[in-house]
Structure 1
Amino acid sequence: MAGFVQQLPRRHQVLLSTVAAATLIVLLLPSEQATASRNTSDPKLAEQQLILGERLEIPVAAKAAVTAQAQHTPALQPSVDTTAAAETVAVSEPVEPAVQWSGYKVKSGDSLARIFERMGYSPQELYKVTQDQQANKYFLKLRPGDTLRFAKDTNDELVQLAYQISPIDTLIVSKIDGSYQSEIDTKEVQVQEAFAYAEISSSFWNAGINAGLTENQIMSIASIFGWDIDFALDLRKGDEFSVIFEKEYVDGEFVGYGKVLAAEFVNQGERYQAILHEDGDYYALDGSAMRKSFLRSPVKFTYISSNFNPRRLHPVTGVVRPHNGTDYVAPVGTPIMSSGAGKVIASAYNNLNGHYVFIQHGERYVTKYLHLSKRLVKRGDKVKQGDIIGRLGSTGRVTGAHLHYEFLVDGVHRNPRNVELPEAESLNAQQLPAFKKIAEQRLAMLENNRRTYLAMN
């Protein structure tokens, strides 16, 4: 190699020596860019490695070229402008203030004011909460055993209040812009259909309980068929009934019973069927309403002491004279209901009738309620079917506490227990086809389940 260089012309030798010297100087100078090796053993260089999840701090004055290796690193890096100084900008999302929840179980004698005081909240906060009308309405119904849940922020201020109204609904009161606003949080309910059958051996009530029905379900069945069947007097041993009803679940957990969807009652060999329509009323298969314009009896009575009788011997005077109504015996103070919608045409007192109320129902019908202990309506009042118009008593010429009830059609007294009652409005021609389709399915389910039950028992 040296001989080859010596054979070159003098000018070429000088040029080659100059290039070699310059190259050596460049190689000996320190580099301005250092790359940290993953396998380096230098602790200082190891600290320069990018760590997943850590922010990479870049000096403001630094300039760098983005290499392909840097673009693919797992560390999060700010973008770098090669023509200007890089700046680190921190962007933070709003953080919800931390809240602390605590619960309170309502005790007998508690009031909302006392509960707030025990939980450490001021009367001012109580006042603001109760300014929400919906919340105030529900808090007035607090019962022992109910639970309230309070949420406070880091300043110990009430930010939310929760009250479980039912297994399905929860009242939520939230602080928004300095005031409290309420809403009802309703859980999704899953509905399953169930069936029950019973034959009466002692009483309708016992038969229902033995069939696994609740008190409310038993009363619902009595209400459905109560316009056609007198459940105090008409029932016989061997009567039977079957029912399809809803069972409600929330998150797979049973929470209660829903509506009666269809029912059948066989009373003294006569069959009655009722199917729930979307309007909330019950109808027979032909679309006729189960609900009549009048209740068969206006009071929940213990027994009947005297029936309608055109030639009855009066127990006080001993004179044979017509008994133009029915006497229902029940405890003093038992609520008396208007048997139908109408207008009060008399509400007064005399020595014979005691406290009494007369109601006009349309043009043809009048009902009379005698011997009340208290009247709750006055002349001219309009009433709906089932409205409480007074309390059972023993005022006037009587031998004991009872309600004397009369039913007049076109001014003529009729027996309230067997008079043909006008029906409520039936389904119209447009509603009937869709209803009948559902009704036939429901009744088929009733019959199939009834046969299966009887075959297995």
Structure 2
Amino acid sequence: MKQHISNQLFILSFFSILIFSSCKDDSQKTEIETKPTTPKVVEKKPLIAYGINLDNYLVKKDTVKRGETFGTILDQNGIGPTTVYNITQSISDSILNFRRLNFGKPYVILKTKDSLQKPTHFIYEKDRINYAVINLKDSIHGTTGKKPVTIKQKEASGIIKSSLSQAIDDAGLNYNIALRFSEIYQWTVDFFRLQKGDQFKIIYSEKYINDSIYAGLHEVEASLLRHKDRDFYGFNFEVDSTTGRTDYFDENAQTLRKFFLKAPLEYTRISSRYTKRRFHPVQKRWKAHKGTDYAAPTGTPIWSTADGVVIKSSYTRGNGKYVKVRHTNKYTTQYLHMSRRAVNVGDYVKQGDIIGYVGSTGLATGPHVCYRFWVDGRQVDPYKQDLPDAEPMAEKLKPAYFDFIKSLKSQLDKIPFVN
């Protein structure tokens, strides 16, 4: 009996210890859980744009309306004509041409946060990246700036089914890439004769504002066009470190440019080629046609096919409005039937400069440009001439060039073709 009582006392004591310990642990846990924590203070980052802390101002954003001028915009914001005149006389056109605020362009006016809300800055966005800041305070002055831009490199490939522009679109690329691509190869490939199944690969870079907002094509760094089972490489390389001028060369450092462009415009079709015998559609008789007719919509820009000096910019009954350019003592070109001429006699034009616009003036049945070509004073067919290349790469640049394109060519070759 005593033993039984003793056992009961032991068991009661044991459970008492467990209960006590359990209560003690719970009280400690509760005390830890209810301990107050110090809240984190998150500092608000200042809103910096155009090199200014916008938090310090009232910000008014708008766009230039049709018919608005710098003066009317500032007048609407409480700045009178005398001050506007002083501003326009104090700020150089290189910072902001106040006569050319373009319709639809964004601008920002910053004002003081007090009851007067006095304008302190006028900010005009020239494009997505470049802007001008006009300080309207006591000391009037202006500055220019650029939004922070990130350059991102990308790769792409495609296949020609109908046209280059369609192939670029099928590859999900920006149309500006098609324009740049055609510029690279315009001296060596006739893009109106691309064949179904021709392929291309490119390495290009794009501009992004604040690392996220697309701001346009930066450059095509390298390209490969497979046309008629032949590979045409193109690498963009700086040939003048002083001016930053670049040009495209192939894998052997040969320039892709020729002395003359293949054609003087972006044409729809060649409606008539150089021939010794053609039935004239207006005069209704057989005669020589010593030119190449490129059909294109009225108003299409016409380019000078090479550098030169304008020696004629005139009108005749047969030629209509026309321009004639002397390139060297050996070569001369002429462009007929323009709707409008864009150059005058004595003007120096560079290859690709606009010299006029397609029309149907003179003896013409529809909008086109008749392109004529002289060699040593004799009219010839430009498509049958062995025309010179543009200025070749300097020998001293070639070692640096081959080193530069080594990794680019390897990267380009690894991009798979689209089949």
TM-score (norm. length: structure 2): 0.77
| Counterpart Cα distance in 2 of 1:197 and 1:216 | 15
Map 1:110-259; keep pairs closer than 5 Å.
110-131=68-89, 132-133=91-92, 134-137=94-97, 140-144=100-104, 146-152=106-112, 156-175=117-136, 178-232=138-192, 234-256=193-215, 257-259=217-219
Q: Find the counterpart in structure 2 of residue 271 from structure 1.
A: 231
| Counterpart Cα distance in 2 of 1:229 and 1:418 | 15
Question: Which deviations, in whole Å up to 9, do the C-alpha atoms of 1:109-146 show, x marking residues without a partner?
Answer: 23222221222222233233333123432772433261
Find 2:350's aligned residue among 380, 384, 391. Answer: 384
| Counterpart Cα distance in 2 of 1:317 and 1:169 | 55
Deviation at 1:197, TM superposition (A): 0.6
Is 1:346–2:307 an aligned residue pair? Answer: no
Q: Percent identity?
A: 31
Report if the CA contact (8 A) 1:105-1:144 is conserved.
no
How has the CA–CA distance of structure 1 residues 383 and 249 changed in structure 2, closer, same or farther, with 3 Å as cutoff?
A: closer
| Counterpart Cα distance in 1 of 2:99 and 2:190 | 40
Report if the CA contact (8 A) 2:109-2:119 is conserved.
no
Deviation at 1:156, TM superposition (A): 4.7
Deviation at 1:153, TM superposition (A): 7.0
Map 1:429-444; keep pairs closer than 5 Å.
429-444=395-410
Deviation at 1:149, TM superposition (A): 2.9
Deviation at 1:169, TM superposition (A): 3.3
Deviation at 1:360, TM superposition (A): 0.9
1:162 aligned partner, one-letter code: I
How has the CA–CA distance of structure 1 residues 194 and 230 changed in structure 2, closer, same or farther, with 3 Å as cutoff?
A: same
Q: Find the counterpart in structure 2 of residue 108 from structure 1.
A: 65
Q: Secondary structure at the match of 2:382?
A: coil
Q: Find the counterpart in structure 1 of residue 265 from structure 2.
A: 299
Greater relative contact order, per chain length (Cα 8 Å cut-off, separation 6+): 2
- Decide which moves more: 157-166 or 441-450: 157-166
| Counterpart Cα distance in 1 of 2:98 and 2:209 | 22
TM-score (norm. length: structure 1): 0.71
How has the CA–CA distance of structure 1 residues 196 and 102 changed in structure 2, closer, same or farther, with 3 Å as cutoff?
A: same
In our comparison, the structure showing a higher alpha carbon Rg is 1
Q: CA RMSD in A?
A: 2.5
How has the CA–CA distance of structure 1 residues 261 and 99 changed in structure 2, closer, same or farther, with 3 Å as cutoff?
A: same
1:370 aligned partner, one-letter code: L
Question: Which deviations, in whole Å up to 9, do the C-alpha atoms of 1:187-213 show, x marking residues without a partner?
Answer: 443322100111011221111011122
Question: Which deviations, in whole Å up to 9, do the C-alpha atoms of 1:2-49 show, x marking residues without a partner?
Answer: xxxxxxxxxxxxxxxxxxxxxxxxxxxxxxxxxxxxxxxxxxxxxxxx
Find 2:380's aligned residue among 398, 414, 423. Answer: 414
Question: Which deviations, in whole Å up to 9, do the C-alpha atoms of 1:148-198 show, x marking residues without a partner?
Answer: 13233756543322234444333222256x332222233443322100111
Deviation at 1:347, TM superposition (A): 2.6
